[in-house]
Structures are given as structure tokens and as C-alpha cells.
Amino acid sequence: MSQVLTKQPIAELDALRGVAIFLVFSGHLFPFFLTAMVPAPNSPLSWFIILAPAGFTGVTLFFVLSAFLLSQPLINGYCSGTQVDLMNFVRRRVLRIIPLFWTTVVVVGIILGEYWKAFQALIFLPDSGTGLLPYGAVWWSLQVEVQFYILLIFSAWLMRYSLGRKILLIALMSYGIAYTAFCLGFLTPHHLGLNTFVSVAAFLHTVLQRGPVFILGIFAAWLFLTKSSLLQAVFNNERIGGFFGYDLLLLLMIGLLSLLLNFIVQEGIFPSELKWPAWHIAEGILWALIMFIILYSPLRLKKLIVNRPMIFLGKVSYSFYLMHFPLIYFLVSWLQSSYPEILKTSHWNATSIAVCLGIFLLCVAVSSVTYQCIERPFLQRKRNLKTYAVTTI
């Protein structure tokens, strides 16, 4: 068996989480504050600056990383002829996700007096966070994550049995056919009885819509575990590595991703989800390639991505994700009423940079507190569990 991720976090993956949450933060700050600062659509600079308003791609990166990491023990167990303790798997996910999320939902439910909507969010009903705005604006992705966990655990259980493997294969083929029909326009939300904006939006915020991204993450994990020598040959080749070869390759992948996101932003994210849902496949492939380049390649630019601040940001990314949007919303609302001239600027200046940095640092500070007080004690308990204890088949 090739290289396997250990119990300790890998710096590169933590840094990528930091990149993901920074993109999400930029995307949510952008509509409030930076709309007038986008370069012209045809400007070459827009290819890269578009990553700010297209911060939603950070969620896709989170999905790729989640599938990549969580599927590894299951793939490793299957390939080595052992059974992963699925209850341990569930316990570790519960300790990772539930404490902070449930604490947040309960507090929000009390603040807003929306107890029934809070209960719906507690059990991860799709798009239940939209009834608890601005706090629940980002909860949809956690609901998608939980849907993925359920499918992943059920798939791992099916893989233990010959009949189960056949059922899983049929299910994957059926999903592939249905998704292809959706991409080609033969199957639409209307055919599923979804005729309102709210119902369509709820459908788009499900694992069915983002399934290919998770599958790509699982495939990347399979390559990482079983084809490590091939990945080394491709992404750590001395001939390519010379003359900044992999650095240029990384910039090329980022450039292609920027071009894709530029197109999606110009078209509109919601229309694009309906007309070209397959764009997430290209997005997921590019993020997987970027991940492999960062994991394997001798990058001269690596310190710009894998460094202490970005690793720390990745460590507190879950807290940051849950806290940042309401903080942005209330801070910008206060600025609009007290200092409206700050938000009317059409160019970067010391004030606009200071405000953006101040909002970011406040989000980091609040996230650090919730990480230390809520997340960390449960993460310690999670670490005390055996790392996906296995029994021989």
C-alpha cells in the first residue's frame, strides 16, 4: 500500500482549507463592499481578481478535500481486506461537526425566536438555514456534507457484500445517467415537480447536484492510496520541475480556474447551475489537480500557500465558516448607516483596505475563540478514538 495519511493533519491540506475559507470570505464580502472595484470583464486582470466574487468555489474545494480525506480509510480498508469500524467513523464525524453547529443553531434560534426553523436546521434539513438569515446563509453546505457522510457510510456498508456491491454499481450508473440527462437538459427541476425558486434552490443545494465533485475527491483519494508512484512521476518529475515548471503549471491551473469562474460570474451563478451544471466537474478537476501539485511538486512558490497563517486559518476554518457571514453582514450594515462614504469608493485606498482587513481579523479572532472554547475539547475526544479502528474480514 502506498503512502497513507496519518492521524496528524497534513500542512498542505490545512493550508488548502485556509485557501478555501479565504475564498468564501472574499465572496461574501464582495457583494457588500467591493462591487465597484472589479476590473472590466474583458480585462486580463479579471481572470485572477474574479476569484474574489467567485468565492463560492471555496465551497467546492472544501467538498473535494472532505471526500479526499474521509474516503481514504474506507478505500484503504477495502483494498487491504479489512473492515472499517463504521460506528467509529460516525462518532468521529459527530464530534467534528455537531458540537459547534448545534451550539450555533440553538443560539440563533433563541435570538430570532424561530424554534421550529432552528429544529429543522438541527436535523440538517436541506436549505433550512434560509429561514434563519443572516446567520444560516452558509448552512446549506454543511447539510450537503452530512448528506455525503450518510451516502459514504451506506456505500462502505454495501461494499462489504457481493450483492451490496452490485446494488451500489447500479445506483452509481443510474445517478450517472440521471446527471447526464440533467446536464443535457433532458431532465430539469420542473420534471421533478420543482416549480418555485425556493424548491429549485433547495434542490441545487443537495449532494445530488454536487455529487460529481465528491466523486472526484474519492477518485483522488484512490489515486493517492494506490497510485502514489504514478502521482510522484507526474507531479514530481525533475524535467518538469526545472525552470519553475510546476510553479508555472500551478499558475496555469489557477488561470484556467479563473477563466471558468469568470464565465460563471458573468452568466450568474444560479442560471449557470441550471444551464451548465457540468461546470462543477471542470471546477472539481482543476481543484484536484491543484491539490496534487501542492502535495507532490517541489514548488518554489509553496510558501505563499503553505505557511503558518494559512495553516492556522485552515485549522479554524470550520469556526470561521459558521461565524463570518453574520459578522460581515452586521459590520457592513453598521458601516452603511454610520460611514456610507467608505462603501461608495470605486478604488482601493488605505481606508478601504483597512476596513476589509479589520473585518477579516475580527472574523479570525471570533473564530479562534469558538475553536478554543467549543471545537477543541471535542476534537481532543475525537483524537482519543482509534483512527477508524478496523477488524479483519
Q: How far is CA 179 from the centre of its chain?
A: 21
Q: Which residue has the cell 450508473?
A: 173
Instruction: Give pLDDT, residue 50.
Output: 55
Neighbouring C-alpha atoms within 13 Å toward the C-beta of 23: 25
Contact yes or no for 67/223 (Cβ under 8 A) = no
User: Which residues face 84 on adjacent strands?
Assistant: 390
Mean pLDDT by 10 residues, the chain (393 residues): 44 96 91 54 51 83 96 89 87 95 97 95 89 92 96 94 96 95 87 76 86 96 92 83 82 92 86 89 97 92 94 97 96 86 66 86 98 95 70 40
Dihedral sign (CA 99, 155, 212, 313): positive
| Largest pairwise CA distance in the chain | 67
Instruction: Give pLDDT, residue 55.
Output: 86
Instruction: Give pLDDT, residue 1.
Output: 36
Residue 185 CB neighbours (<10 A) = 10
CB proximity list for 390: less than 8 A, separation 6 or greater: 73, 77, 82, 83, 84, 85
Neighbouring C-alpha atoms within 13 Å toward the C-beta of 327: 19
Instruction: Give pLDDT, residue 3.
Output: 39
Domain residue limits, the chain: 11-392
Instruction: Give pLDDT, residue 45.
Output: 47
Helix (H) or strand (E) holding 118, with range, is helix 115-122
Assigned C-alpha cell, 223: 489515486
CA 121 to CA 112: how far, in whole Å?
Answer: 13
Assigned C-alpha cell, 190: 420542473
Q: Which amino acid is at 273?
A: E
Helix (H) or strand (E) holding 158, with range, is helix 139-158
